[in-house]
Amino acid sequence: MADEFNALIQNGSSSTLLERFIKILSDEFAMKDLGPLHFFLGIHATRPSGTLFISQQKYISDVLSRFGLDKSTAVKTPLSSRTHLSLTDGDLLDDPTEYHGMVGTLQYITITKPDICYAVNLVSQFMHAPRTTQFQAVKRILRYLLGTSTHGLHFQSSDLQITAYIDADWAGCPDTRRVVSINGPFWDHVLGYYKASLEMPHKVFFLTYEEMKEKPREQLKRLADFLGCPFSEDEEEVDGGVDEILRLCSFDNLSKLEVNQNGKLLTGHENRSFFRKGEVGDWVSYLTPDMIERIHRIIEEKFHGSGLKL
């Protein structure tokens, strides 16, 4: 019985441990240490200034040539903002072989190109029955790579931690209606606006739902002052302007408007779905104790020392 290693890559944060591992292997097998990795299975590795940079520039170039897209026009994004692929849009491909080959290749390229992960995952969902619309989307990803083939992953000695994630998709899947919120890191946004309102009160107006619910008249007058249109004494007391605005903007009035009872957004969502009568504190009826505890922990961590209380 013969054992043979054609190539073996060792990687780790401890050079001492790596040297020991290589020594153990050398004692057991006839092998040669080829030194630092430079090129492996289409992945090019360089070490500028003590860091590590990996890319697939040559591999991407070969892929584009193979599929006849090396002379095409590059695009700046892997997906169009108007792209909403569906199971039924477009005609079925007579031969899906090329589609399968393109998507499989793109999946390998995501090793060094996380910026195409979402787009590749999207087109991968149609492997069983790809259509012309999905085929065009795949070609667009390849055209995006044409202009970004030199991009890759740069690793250096520092802590790497994801603190926020925003999806490239909005309006969701037209088939399942699933969606990732466009709002992004919510608590960071809230804290940013709150701090800006303290530093630039003449430019940023900060108001919580609880404040508006508790003292609607006072908060409406605050807003009018901020906009440079304060209520006069007659408008406020004689004409009842404050109370009339509160009535017009009330839940009962807005929910009864024709546009909110039968209208729809461009995404197909019915306007009336946004009108659920709630009360301050009613969230306890919709969250488990564990969810409440986690949210409180996040709020405490995010707002600690800021003076903001929600």
3-state secondary structure the chain: CCCCCCCCCCCCCCHHHHHHHHHHHHHHCCCCCCCCCCEECCEEEECHHHCEEEECHHHHHHHHHHCCCCCCCCCCCCCCCCCCCCCCCCCECCCCHHHHHHHHHHHHHCCCCHHHHHHHHHHHCCCCCCEHHHHHHHHHHHHHHHHHCCCCEEECCCCCCCCCCCCCCCCCCCCCCCCCCCCCCHHHHHHHHHHHHHHCCCCCCCCCHHHHHHCHHHHHHHHHHHCCCCCCHHHHHHCCHHHHHHHHCCHHHHHHCHHHHHCECCCCCEHHHHCCCCCCCHHHHCCCHHHHHHHHHHHHHHHCCCCCCC
Tens digits of per-residue pLDDT, 237-296? 777 889 999 999 888 888 888 888 887 776 677 877 777 666 667 777 778 888 888 888
Residue 160: pLDDT above 70? no
Tens digits of per-residue pLDDT, 197-236? 999 999 999 998 888 888 999 999 999 999 999 998 888 7
| pTM, full prediction | 0.53
Tens digits of per-residue pLDDT, 81-108? 777 788 888 899 999 999 999 999 999 9
Q: Among 75-89, 97-111, 128-142, which is the least confidently predicted range?
A: 75-89
